[in-house]
Amino acid sequence: MKRVSVELVPRDAASLQENLELLQPYKEKIDVINIPDLLRFPLRSWEGAAEAQAYFPNVMPHIRAMDINLDEELPMKAYLREHNIREVLVIEGDPPQDMTHEVYPTQSTDVIRKFRAEMPEVRVYAGIDQYRGSMCHELYRIRRKTQAGAVGFFTQPFYDMRFLAMYEDMLRGLDVYWGISPVMNARSKGYWERKNNVIFPREFEATLEWSIEISKRIMEFADKTDGSVYFMPIRTNVAAYLQGVFA
């Protein structure tokens, strides 16, 4: 594989540091830490990324396109440069749950171009949502993001190797991080089905064992196809999951 990325949710500095400590036994296997930008938590993604640098040198904060006013400079520019953060992942972002946070009709491609213009030293990645529509429409979005300056892509998690193989065939030649996320109970399965339109394969089981097995299969696939993987251990025992995955 090219790289292994692990996403950690920055609920607060203490819990983030606790999870970073849990990852230390796998420091030689993990290349980059991804930090999402969730408005319900006090830490912004770039602040969480700076915290993570004490444990892993390569960090990648998520940047929400809808937070960016195109008429002003990137608000996190000085902070990223001060902490020498050289990679970001630009996503559309979910609308805030209240009216206290201002948002704009800004698209990911706009922000990718803005980074290229204002911070050319930063490598900008973009998202792929293989569940939001047809493969044809998603490929169109991918091409637009590539033309805007994206150097690579992060997908939503895969649970069906057949679907993964179809996407790999379509995206061959691009730098892709294939998403992996454990699902270990019915509530978590329902979340992915309702929010992300995931269709689970017939053999799916909401267990740690099945999640570890599909994770290993995706890692083997990425290794054979010169891809990367993106672990999203959401609402799970990070230590137990990664111990099984890297065993």
Is the pLDDT confidence value at 247 over 90?
no
Note whether 177 and 5 are within 8 A (CB).
yes
DSSP, residue by residue, 123-182: EEEEEE-TTSS-HHHHHHHHHHHHHHT--EEEEEEP--HHHHHHHHHHHTTS-EEEEE--
Whole-number pLDDT of residue 28: 95
Instruction: For helices 135-148 and 108-118, give the axis angle rounded to 10 degrees.
Output: 20
The secondary structure element, H or E, covering residue 59 is strand 59-64
Whole-number pLDDT of residue 152: 98
Whole-number pLDDT of residue 109: 98
The full set of domain ranges for the chain reads 4-245
Q: What is the pLDDT of residues 68-106, one digit of tens each?
A: 999 999 999 999 999 999 999 999 988 887 767 899 999
Which long-range contacts link 13-22 to residues 24+ away (Cβ below 8 Å)? 13/43, 13/51, 16/43, 16/48, 16/51, 16/52, 17/51, 17/55, 19/238, 20/51, 20/52, 20/54, 20/55, 20/56, 21/55, 22/238, 22/239, 22/242
Note whether 129 and 93 are within 8 A (CB).
no
Q: Full-prediction pTM beyond 0.85?
A: yes
User: What value does the mean pLDDT of the chain take?
Assistant: 95
Q: What is the pLDDT of residues 189-233, one digit of tens each?
A: 999 999 899 999 999 999 999 999 999 999 999 999 999 999 999
Q: Work out the percent of the chain whose per-residue pLDDT is above 90.
A: 91
Is the pLDDT confidence value at 31 over 80?
yes
Q: How confident is the model at residue 236 (pLDDT cuts 50, 70, 90)?
A: confident
Whole-number pLDDT of residue 22: 93
Q: What is the mean pLDDT of residues 58-75?
A: 97
Question: CA triplet 25, 27, 32: central angle to 5 degrees?
Answer: 140
The CATH code that applies to domain 4-245 is 3.20.20.220
Q: Where are the alpha helices (DSSP H) in the chain?
A: 13-23, 45-52, 77-82, 108-118, 135-148, 161-171, 186-196, 208-224, 238-245
According to DSSP, the β-strands at 123-128 and 59-64 are unpaired
Q: What is the mean pLDDT of residues 155-166?
A: 98
Bridge partners of residue 125, in order along the sequence: 89, 152
Evaluate the CA torsion angle 74, 75, 80, 82 in order and state its sign: positive
